Structure 1
Amino acid sequence: MTDFNKPQRAVVFGYHNVGVRCLKVLLAGGVDVALVVTHEDSANENIWFESVISLCQAEGIPYITPADAGSPELLEQVKAIKPDLMFSFYYRNMLPAELLAVAPAFNMHGSLLPEFRGRAPVNWAVLHGATVTGATLHEMTVKPDAGAIVAQMEVPVLPDDTAFEVFGKVTVAAEQALWRVLPSLLDGTAPRLKNDLSKGGYFGGRKPEDGRINWLLPAQDVYNLHRAVAPPYPGAFTDIGGVRYVLQRARLSGNFGNVVSLSLPPGLTVVDNCIFGVCGDGRMLTISALTADGEPVTAEQLQSRLAALSAGGQ
């Protein structure tokens, strides 16, 4: 039987901004964090987020970075700690059943479950044009994002929010949700709400190639793609004449009569020294920052390139 007069001991699996903020909540709430399991930063990744390792070093918390969350060595190490609770805050690997059996385990997911279960929930929410999302703390089961809901906090998704901006809101929502429920979680009275898997959907991870633009789609769909993968993510892109053009900043414009009058085809174009992306429904994205094979390109440069391709019959 758990003694609630002594600090609850926890093992935390964490990474990214949500890992940092939620770990800070546990520390502020008096939880004895005996071990943090995290990831080494990858040299091949754009690291734009906070470091769980740096927080552990600053707070004197033991941490490890195992390559395999399912290894017998990790299981034995966690068992030896005899945690009262375990948490997963944006840890990137699934935890096996044997590990979940060690102690009650809770995961923080970046959506309002059961919506957008699975990987990259914020990006998928923006891509699908969601107007609200949030963070959900739920019981961990072998099936991902399927356990009972313990706490939720919602945030708005504004029409021009990028996934990066929404992720910032979701990070705060995760911190708030955990902070509010932590006392009842520690004394065993936290709620358990049904996570209705007949609603919402499961989504897989996203790859840079998923950012390829289909200009035949309606402008809102193309704009949602741009918002979902805008920097610091890899960005929405289109290939023209062997050159990869990536949208860095864009906005969805109103209806332009000149699109019809000029009979502009879908794709990148330059009108009045401004770069636009013409979409399948005749509406355009106003593109204020564009790169060509990683280098910034101006409207004048783009117009010259497109003219040269046109003259060459490509």
Structure 2
Amino acid sequence: MNQTPKHAVIFAYHDVGVACLQALIDAGMQIDLVITHADDPNETIWFGSVQKLCDQQGLPCRIVQQSELLTLLPEIKAIAPDYLFSFYYRFMLPSELLETASIAALNMHGSLLPKYRGRAPVNWAVLHGETETGATLHVMEAKPDAGDIVGQVAVPIEIHETGKEVFDKVSQAAKQVMDRVLPQLMQGKVPRHANRLTEGSYFGGRKPEDGRIDWTNSAMAIYNLIRAVAPPYPGAFTELSGQKVILTKSSLPLEPSVDLPPSIAAFLTKSGLGMHLVDNRYFGLCGDGKALELFSMQE
């Protein structure tokens, strides 16, 4: 016996939005409306376009400002969706919209909830030196990233990977989560288990200024910052000879007395914390006495 198609309204953006929307299309979900938002003119657009995918698939798609979200309420009520999905949509959805879903309102988050709730979860995970993160589909509530967990896939974070490289893996994990849970969702069943909030923390958004390097920090902390916000993110930065320099790649922490020529080690120790040019090589001396060789930078 053929099952009745399930209807959905989608709020989506970015690579995760594209991947998860494609998963719904592949599963045969009836997509009645897709809402996305305009690209930020001040942001480097390096990711996929939800609007382009909708155009290719003939799906109804609109750009809606955050202040206009509640104006959608009558239209979405008329659709009477079984599901409402949010896939890397950057605005919080009002509870009135969440309540329009007769089965569930679900959000895809880029971490292993309950860890790294909130904004920029991949960047925070890399910055804190985590060795694992992932993607989590969860029930949406008024409080962000707090609802029951529906599905989850983990990915490793290698010590050399940048935030962008990890984000690409998380985007693939998000698609895997959808592929795993969609057979049940298409039957109207939502697998769920508790999102134990006390086992994780909430993190706020990051601004370009947050990339300023504090050389009193440990070499590993600075190494992780550099890779966490490397381009296409705004980048970690410092000053050299009065000029701002964006650092995009460094070595792992070095013990100057062991890993560097004596002349360079002596120069760094004498020069103090910060970025230095020594023998046509760039180094940063850090608060724990270790150094980073700086390989790639932008002015």
TM-score, with length taken from structure 1: 0.89
Name 1:254's counterpart in structure 2: 254
Partner deviation per Cα, 1:182-206 (whole Å, 9 max, x = no partner):
1112213332110011111000000
How far, CA to CA, are the matches of 1:19 and 1:244 in structure 2? 35
Name 2:276's counterpart in structure 1: 269
Q: Is the 8 A contact 1:4 1:187 kept in 2?
A: no
Q: Is the 8 A contact 1:89 1:107 kept in 2?
A: yes
How far, CA to CA, are the matches of 2:90 and 2:197 in structure 1? 22
Partner deviation per Cα, 1:65-84 (whole Å, 9 max, x = no partner):
11126643211121121111
Equivalent residues in 2 for 1:1-314, closer than 5 Å = 5-68=3-66, 71-103=69-101, 104-257=104-257, 258=262, 260-262=265-267, 263=269, 264-292=271-299
What SS does the corresponding residue of 2:52 show, helix, strand or coil?
Answer: helix
- Which residue type is aligned with residue 266 of structure 2? S
How far, CA to CA, are the matches of 1:255 and 1:14 in structure 2? 46
- Which residue type is aligned with residue 276 of structure 1? F
Q: Is the 8 A contact 1:136 1:174 kept in 2?
A: yes
Partner deviation per Cα, 1:34-71 (whole Å, 9 max, x = no partner):
11000111221110100001101111100111112664
How far, CA to CA, are the matches of 2:20 and 2:70 in structure 1? 27
Q: Is the 8 A contact 1:116 1:200 kept in 2?
A: yes
Q: Is the 8 A contact 2:227 2:248 kept in 1?
A: no
- Which residue type is aligned with residue 51 of structure 1? S
How far, CA to CA, are the matches of 1:128 and 1:33 in structure 2? 38
Q: Is the 8 A contact 1:9 1:34 kept in 2?
A: yes
- Which residue type is aligned with residue 276 of structure 2? T
RMSD: 1.5
Q: Is the 8 A contact 1:108 1:174 kept in 2?
A: yes
How far residue 269 of structure 1 moved from its aligned partner, in angstroms, is 1.0
What SS does the corresponding residue of 2:198 show, helix, strand or coil?
Answer: coil
How far residue 260 of structure 1 moved from its aligned partner, in angstroms, is 4.7
Q: Is the 8 A contact 2:5 2:28 kept in 1?
A: yes
Percent of counterpart pairs with the same letter? 52
How far, CA to CA, are the matches of 1:271 and 1:101 in structure 2? 62
How far, CA to CA, are the matches of 2:246 and 2:284 in structure 1? 12
- Which residue type is aligned with residue 284 of structure 1? A
How far, CA to CA, are the matches of 1:285 and 1:52 in structure 2? 39
Q: Is the 8 A contact 1:118 1:145 kept in 2?
A: yes
How far, CA to CA, are the matches of 2:67 and 2:105 in structure 1? 15
- Shift of the 82–52 alpha-carbon distance from structure 1 to 2, 3 Å rule, reads same
How far residue 122 of structure 1 moved from its aligned partner, in angstroms, is 0.3
Q: Is the 8 A contact 1:69 1:95 kept in 2?
A: no
Instruction: Point out the more displaced range, 67-76 or 235-244.
Output: 67-76
Q: Is the 8 A contact 1:4 1:186 kept in 2?
A: no
Structure 1 segments (4+ residues) deviating >4 Å? none
- In structure 1, stretches of 5+ residues that fail to align are 293-314
How far, CA to CA, are the matches of 2:25 and 2:97 in structure 1? 23
- Which residue type is aligned with residue 166 of structure 1? V
- In structure 2, stretches of 5+ residues that fail to align are none
- Shift of the 180–76 alpha-carbon distance from structure 1 to 2, 3 Å rule, reads same
How far, CA to CA, are the matches of 1:283 and 1:241 in structure 2? 22
How far, CA to CA, are the matches of 2:242 and 2:78 in structure 1? 56
How far residue 237 of structure 1 moved from its aligned partner, in angstroms, is 0.4
How far, CA to CA, are the matches of 1:66 and 1:189 in structure 2? 30
Count of residue pairs the alignment pairs up: 290
How far, CA to CA, are the matches of 2:174 and 2:54 in structure 1? 19
- Shift of the 35–4 alpha-carbon distance from structure 1 to 2, 3 Å rule, reads farther
